Structure 1
Amino acid sequence: MTRNQAFPLDAGWRLILKDLGVQPARVLRRAGLPEDLLSRPGQSLATSDYLRFWQSLEDEAADPLFALRIVESITAESFDPPIFAALCSANLMQAVQRLAKYKQLVAPMSLEIAVAGNGDLSLTPRWLQAPSGVPGSLQAAEIAFFVRLARLATREPVSAIGVTLPVLPTAAHARPYENFFGVPVRQGPNPSVSFAAADALRPFLTLNEGMWRVFEPDLRRRLSELDATATTAERVRALLLELLPSNAASIEGVAARLGMSKRTLQRRLEEEGAPFRALVNGTRESLARHYLENTALSGGEIAFLLGFEDPNSFYRAFLDWTGQTPERLRHAQRLN
């Protein structure tokens, strides 16, 4: 699979910089980037430019704790594909698998996932094509994100059981880092964070409300909102809206969530004239059209949210469904 060679840079950064009290133009000027970059839709940066942007942000913020401040500003209201997919997951173990796929599809990064014999989960992010090193604040923010995600999704004060960074916080700031992670930060060759097995498998309770609200009404129905008159097909569609982003939209997974056997589910759908595969494809097409017409998400991000392995698979499927490419539909929508 061809890996994306650039980091997406969306308009959400303007809000982040505002919350930090930092002027976007100053950050971009310091990084040698166009000062209107954050006003342009669909922008991305090569690794060297992205790292320079982040270093500029670190320098402009002049706050040793600003990486933690960025992470703590993340909420379940954020309109962000990886957060949405993660919050649709069953637990942290499944969520990090989706986040690893997101990085593989959308950015020149990888996320190494290791599960110990006792079930403890360790995560190590890696930046590919990083010629001059990764700013320490970016490394800290990357691993702090997983702790923030676990707390948001479980509604529990989850702590890490181990944290390493190549460059330790200064003595004056070691305590705030320890308070955030729940353990002292140790020095190691790579940034990493580990979670106890019980926390890695702790059920996620949240869905991303900000992302759900941008859906049209017929793409917003959830299983818990259906009444006793709903058909099996309607129940399956409601589940697929949640399971597709988490890449768990198998007939076995849907049947388990509905409390019935796979065979019973197949039989009921056949009686209603709604085969499972047709429901999956129909839901994917409806979501794809919505994303293309109402958001600025890239093809790679849409492919990710629909549970495709790569953008090319999504493009081929969309062409089969509609007879046109995603780009043509988006272009036609803009003309209208």
Structure 2
Amino acid sequence: MAGARFDLEPSIKALLRDLDIPVSRVLRRAELPADLFAQRPIELSVAEYYRFWEAIDAEAAAAGRADLAVEIGNAISVEMFAPPIFAALCSPNLATAATRLAAHKPLIGPLRIDVDSDDAGRLTITYRWPSGEDVPPLLATAELVFWVALARIGTRETVRPVVVTAPTWVPRTEALRSHLCTRIISSETFSITFTALDAKRPFLTENDQMWRVFAPDLRRRLFDLQATASVADRVRAALLETLPGGDPSIAAVTGELAVSARTLQRQLRDEGTTFQTVLADTRHDLARHYLRQNNLRTSEIAYLLGYADTNSFYRAFKTWTGTTPEAARLDRAPAVAERPAMQHHEAEAR
């Protein structure tokens, strides 16, 4: 995760009001300041955020309410959305909204989102929590419910996920199954999958002009958050911006981060890595993602990764996986899912 702290959107106060859960009691139970919502911005650590959700769950349990996640799903409205989520609703469809939220999710919660599509075009959203602390079950369930709510609000259709996975400690009530319109499959992975039709179903809330208004501020907020990230994380974030433009150079990254090349290399060395290592790791991760997009040719992927020609991408991919991009696309199992140790970063980064 990029930073140790992140914003808590004030709109959650309205959600608690609609759920008839006293904010003052939640804050007291979570051992958070009574004037928390009077502060701007409202910044919490992961531990504080988890305590906040545990307190919400405890207040609901004390009142005999066993299906609060479903209540949250039914109570979610456009008015309650944080700017990154509202901006996602401006997207043309759920697939685009998920990609935009994946980029900006660190602004509103301590987790990372991976977005993928399979050969049939089904959209799978997988989220990963930071290690070290137990995730509150209500929070984990609410994240699953959120995606269904987002799809239904955007399309005004009763969108139903086709697959939902979660660890066994996530509650599985009949009310939740009925709300999701599917059962939760036991897995170590948190994920939710939608059909290709629902992934591309038009959002009636699409507003490209509004997205253009939101996007610059979201990028600024994300950059501010990343100021507390590791140097390697910040370099990776910068590469995600510069690589599609065809520039994998350290000069492009230092321009994004406003730091000299010598300083950046020293900071990375202090973290036990190098620019070439971060570049190679980022390219490899992006290559795995792009190869899942069946509409992208290998030459296009090479360009998006900042390679001067397709042959350079072939050589690098063979170094990472021992196979070719085409073979990996046909058989994604060990070749793309496993990452061998990379020993030729400097040679491949051209």
TM over 0.5: yes
Q: What letter corresponds to residue 178 of structure 1 in structure 2? A: R
Q: Secondary structure at the match of 1:77?
A: helix
Q: Which residue of 2 aligns with 1:111?
A: 113
Change (3 A) 1:24 1:109: same
Q: Cα offset for 1:71?
A: 2.6
Q: Secondary structure at the match of 2:128?
A: strand
Q: Does the 8 A contact of 2:13 with 2:23 survive in 1? A: yes
The match for 2:77 among 75, 93, 99 is 75
Q: Does the 8 A contact of 1:164 with 1:185 survive in 2? A: yes
- 1:237-276 CA-to-partner distances (Å, cap 9, x unmatched) read xx5444454x6xxxxxxxxxxxxxxxxxxxxxxxxxxxxx
Q: Cα offset for 1:106?
A: 5.5
Q: Which residue of 1 aligns with 2:319?
A: none
Q: What letter corresponds to residue 109 of structure 1 in structure 2? A: L
Q: Does the 8 A contact of 2:167 with 2:187 survive in 1? A: yes
Looking at structure 1, the residues matched to 140 and 220 of structure 2 have their Cα atoms a distance apart, in angstroms, of: 27
Looking at structure 2, the residues matched to 12 and 57 of structure 1 have their Cα atoms a distance apart, in angstroms, of: 15
Q: Secondary structure at the match of 1:26?
A: helix
Q: Does the 8 A contact of 1:4 with 1:106 survive in 2? A: no
Q: Does the 8 A contact of 2:5 with 2:45 survive in 1? A: yes
Q: Does the 8 A contact of 2:5 with 2:44 survive in 1? A: yes
Q: Cα offset for 1:207?
A: 4.7
Q: Does 1:47 align with 2:46?
A: yes
Looking at structure 1, the residues matched to 6 and 211 of structure 2 have their Cα atoms a distance apart, in angstroms, of: 26
Change (3 A) 1:169 1:5: closer
- 1:290-331 CA-to-partner distances (Å, cap 9, x unmatched) read xxxxxxx99516999xxxx77xx9xx99xxxxxxxxxxxxxx
Q: Cα offset for 1:90?
A: 1.0
Q: Cα offset for 1:163?
A: 0.9
- 1:191-226 CA-to-partner distances (Å, cap 9, x unmatched) read 211101111011111158xxxxxxxxxxxxxxxxxx
Q: Which residue of 2 aligns with 1:17?
A: 16
> Normalising to structure 2: TM-score of the pair?
0.58
Q: CA RMSD, aligned part only? A: 3.0
Q: Does the 8 A contact of 2:19 with 2:75 survive in 1? A: no
Q: What letter corresponds to residue 179 of structure 2 in structure 1? A: F
Q: Which residue of 1 aligns with 2:195?
A: 196
Q: What letter corresponds to residue 45 of structure 1 in structure 2? A: L
Q: Which residue of 1 aligns with 2:96?
A: 94
Q: Which residue of 1 aligns with 2:26?
A: 27
Q: Which residue of 2 aligns with 1:253?
A: none
Q: Does the 8 A contact of 1:28 with 1:35 survive in 2? A: yes
Q: Which residue of 1 aligns with 2:133?
A: 132
- 1:9-54 CA-to-partner distances (Å, cap 9, x unmatched) read 2322222221222221211111111122122221111101111111
Q: What letter corresponds to residue 221 of structure 2 in structure 1? A: G
Q: Does the 8 A contact of 1:169 with 1:177 survive in 2? A: no
Looking at structure 2, the residues matched to 122 and 79 of structure 1 have their Cα atoms a distance apart, in angstroms, of: 22
Identity between Structure 1 and Structure 2 (%): 35
Looking at structure 2, the residues matched to 204 and 303 of structure 1 have their Cα atoms a distance apart, in angstroms, of: 30
Looking at structure 2, the residues matched to 185 and 3 of structure 1 have their Cα atoms a distance apart, in angstroms, of: 29
